[in-house]
Chains A and B, each alone.
Chain A
Amino acid sequence: MKKVIISSSPFLHDSTSTPKIMWEVVATLLPLVLLSAYYFKLGAVLVILFACLGALITEWVFSGNEAFRKIKDGSALITGILLGLCLPPGFPFWMAFVGGVVAIGMGKLIWGGLGHNVFNPALVGRAFLQAAFPAAITRWALPNDGSWLGLNSGNAALPFQQMKVDGLSAATPLSQMKFDHDYGVLTDQIMGMTSGSLGETSGLLILILGLYMILRKIIHWRIPVAILSTVIVFSGLFWLIDATVYPPPTFMIFSGGLMLGTFYMATDLVSSPITPRGQWLYGIGIAVFVVMIRLWGGLPEGVMYAILLMNAATPLINKATKIKPYGYK
Chain B
Amino acid sequence: MGIFNQIATFRHGVHPHEYKHYTESLPVERMPFVEEYILPLGQHIGAPAASIVTKGDKVRRGQEIAKAQGFVSVSLHSPVDGVVTGVELAETLTGKMVEAIKIKTDSYSSQLLHPSDPGDYRKMNVDEFVSSVQRSGLVGLGGAAFPAHVKFKIPEGKTCRYLILNGCECEPFLTSDHKVMAEQPEAIVNGIKILNRFVHAEKVFIGIENNKADAIEVLTKACENDDNIEVVPLVVKYPQGAEKMLITAILDKEVPSGKLPLDVDVMVSNVSSIAALSDWFEEGKPLIERVVTVTGDAVYRPSNVLTPIGTPMRQVVEHCGGLLSENYRMLLGGPMMGMIQRTLDIPIVKGTSGMLLLGDDIIKTPQEYDCIKCGRCVEACPMFLNPSTMGLLAKKGLWDDMEEHHVMDCFECGSCSFVCPSYIPLVQSFRVAKGILREKKAKEK
A: which residues have CB within 8 A of B? Answer: 2, 4-14, 16-21, 69, 73, 112-116, 217, 220, 269-270, 272, 274-276, 318, 322-329
Listed residue (B376, B389, B421) with the most chain A CB atoms within 10 angstroms of its CB: B421
- Helix, strand, loop or mixed for chain B's interface? loop
B255 touches A327 (CB 8 A): yes
Q: Is the CB of B369 within 8 A of A114?
A: yes
Nearest CB of A to B250, in Å: 15
Instruction: Give chain B's interface residues, CB within 8 Å of chain A.
Output: 14, 16-17, 172, 244, 248, 254-259, 326-327, 329, 331, 335-340, 342, 358, 362-367, 369-376, 378, 382-386, 388-389, 405-406, 409, 412, 414-415, 417-419, 421-423, 425, 427-428, 431
- B354 smallest CB distance to A (angstroms): 13
Closest chain A CB from B404 CB (angstroms): 9
A114 and B370 form a contact (CB under 8 A): yes
Q: Nearest Cβ distance between residue A270 and chain B, in whole angstroms? A: 5
Chain A min CB distance to B394 (Å): 14
Q: Which of B365, B378, B409 contacts A275 (CB 8 A)?
A: B378
- Write the chain B residue with the least CB distance to A7: B340
Asked if A6 and B326 make an inter-chain contact with CB atoms under 8 angstroms apart, the answer reads no
B376 proximity list for chain A (CB < 8 A): 16, 217
Shortest Cβ distance from A225 into chain B, in angstroms?
A: 15
CA distance A27 to B342 in the complex (A): 43
Cα distance A17–B417 when bound, in Å? Answer: 12
Nearest 5 Cβ contacts at the A-B interface: A10-B414, A115-B370, A327-B257, A11-B335, A10-B336
| Beta-carbon contact of B373 and A274 below 8 Å | yes
Number of A-B contacts (CB under 8 A): 147
Contact B428 A8 (CB under 8 A): yes
Q: Which partner residue on chain A sits nearest B411 by CB separation?
A: A326
Contact A274 B244 (CB under 8 A): no
| B419 contacts across to A, CB distance below 8 A | 14, 16
Given A323-B386, A326-B384, do A13 and B409 touch, yes or no (CB 8 Å)?
A: no
Q: Which residue of A lies closest to B414 (CB)?
A: A10
> What residue of chain B has the Cβ atom nearest to residue A10's Cβ?
B414
Report the Cα distance A6→B93, complex, angstroms: 13
> Which of A12, A322, A325 contacts B409, CB < 8 Å?
A325
The reply to whether A115 and B172 contact each other, CB–CB distance below 8 Å, is no
Q: Are A11 and B421 in contact (CB under 8 A)?
A: no
- Of all chain A residues, which has the CB nearest B392? A115
Q: List 30 A-B contacts (CB under 8 A).
A: A2-B326, A2-B327, A6-B340, A8-B339, A8-B340, A9-B335, A9-B339, A9-B427, A12-B336, A12-B362, A13-B423, A18-B369, A18-B372, A18-B374, A20-B421, A21-B421, A113-B370, A114-B372, A115-B370, A115-B372, A116-B370, A274-B373, A275-B386, A323-B385, A324-B384, A326-B244, A326-B384, A328-B257, A328-B406, A329-B256
